[in-house]
Amino acid sequence: MLTRFRNDPLVGNVLAAIALFIALGAGAYAAGLKPSSVKSKHIKDGQVKTPDIGLATVNSSHLTPNSLQSELVPQDEFVSDDIDEGSLGPVPEALDAEELDGKDSTAFQEVGSEGWSNLPLNNVGNDVCHWTSFGGGFPTPSYFRDRDGVVHLRGILKATDGSNTACGGIVNFDEFPVLVGGIPQGYAPEQRARFTISANNAPGQIDVLANGSMLMTIGYPMFNNAEVYLTIDGISWRCGPSGSNGCP
């Protein structure tokens, strides 16, 4: 019976017609798709392959930010499977890492990272009146700038007679300089500042200038008191000018 069906022209024509209908129907279905009508839900996961993607069709707009990853190997070589390193151009010439805005890198140390720095006391030449550290276990006169840009002083000093000129023997001299060179810019106050101090339990005053100089007004305190001791503990001010030498 099967042989008879195979040899029957009518059956063959029917089967051919059915096959043609299926082929034309499938083509019509594919041809009838609307533009952009195929969505992600219509595609089985993992079925879009490299040959299905046109050249230069995927660019940075299709990438998730920071999705291209790399790693540093022990030799600090750049490694990435996502980037053809050979296609990268040369890195532009870098600026001198030792300087920024013409300043040495040490000028930009983190505020507050430095320790106490000794004040440059005016102790040059023992033949005239000069300043020395009080000693006796007290801190050496010094300064420190904290992270907020506030400069603090500490220590005790004293006026010391010279071999030729005693501290009370200076004539027509209104102010007695405490420092040589002064406190550096970025640590000195923005403007001249005056502070009340104690000298041998008597009141006195010290002025700190914007150029970093420190002065004692003669007569307040008296030299005989300053020769015993003068304390600068607790003196503080806001550094200036802002942006200079790490001053925030």
What CATH number does residue 154 fall under?
2.60.40
Number of domains in the chain: 1
What is the spatial distance between Cα 39 and Cα 35, in angstroms, rounded to a whole number?
A: 11
Residue 177 within any structural domain of the chain: yes
Distance from the first to the final alpha carbon of the chain: 103
Residue 138 within any structural domain of the chain: yes
pLDDT tens digits for range 131-157: 999 999 999 999 999 999 999 999 999
200 within 8 A of 225, measured Cβ to Cβ: yes
Most confident of 3-12, 57-66, 183-192: 183-192
Residue 6 within any structural domain of the chain: no
pLDDT tens digits for range 25-49: 555 455 556 777 777 777 777 777 7
The pLDDT, as a whole number, for residue 146 is 93
Q: Can you tell me which residue has the tokens 């129907």?
A: 25
Q: Can you tell me which residue has the tokens 């980037």?
A: 83
Closest CA to 232 of 108, 169, 165, 140: 140
The pLDDT, as a whole number, for residue 156 is 97
- Name the CA radius of gyration of the chain, rounded: 43
The pLDDT, as a whole number, for residue 94 is 53
Full-model pTM: 0.55
Amino acid, single-letter form, for residue 223: F
Residue 44 within any structural domain of the chain: no
Ranges of beta strands (E only) in 112-243 are 117-118, 130-133, 142-145, 150-154, 156-160, 175-177, 193-199, 202-208, 214-217, 230-231, 236-238
What is the spatial distance between Cα 221 and Cα 200, in angstroms, rounded to a whole number?
A: 9
The pLDDT, as a whole number, for residue 51 is 73
Residue 214 within any structural domain of the chain: yes
Per-residue confidence band for 123, with pLDDT thresholds at 50, 70 and 90: confident
Answer whether residue 195 shows pLDDT above 90.
yes
Torsion angles phi and psi, residue 105, rounded to 5: -60, -25
DSSP state, residue 56: T
Q: Where is average pLDDT lowest: 117-121, 134-138, 161-165, 233-237?
A: 161-165
Residue 37 within any structural domain of the chain: no
Per-residue confidence band for 5, with pLDDT thresholds at 50, 70 and 90: very low
Structure tokens at 57: 């069709």
Percent of the chain with pLDDT over 90: 42
Residue 125 within any structural domain of the chain: yes
Residue 31 within any structural domain of the chain: no
The pLDDT, as a whole number, for residue 28 is 47
Answer whether residue 114 shows pLDDT above 80.
no
The pLDDT, as a whole number, for residue 110 is 54
The mean pLDDT value of the chain amounts to: 78
The pLDDT, as a whole number, for residue 96 is 58
The whole-number average pLDDT for the span 152-176 is: 87
Per-residue confidence band for 105, with pLDDT thresholds at 50, 70 and 90: low
The whole-number average pLDDT for the span 207-213 is: 96
Domain region containing 169 = 110-238
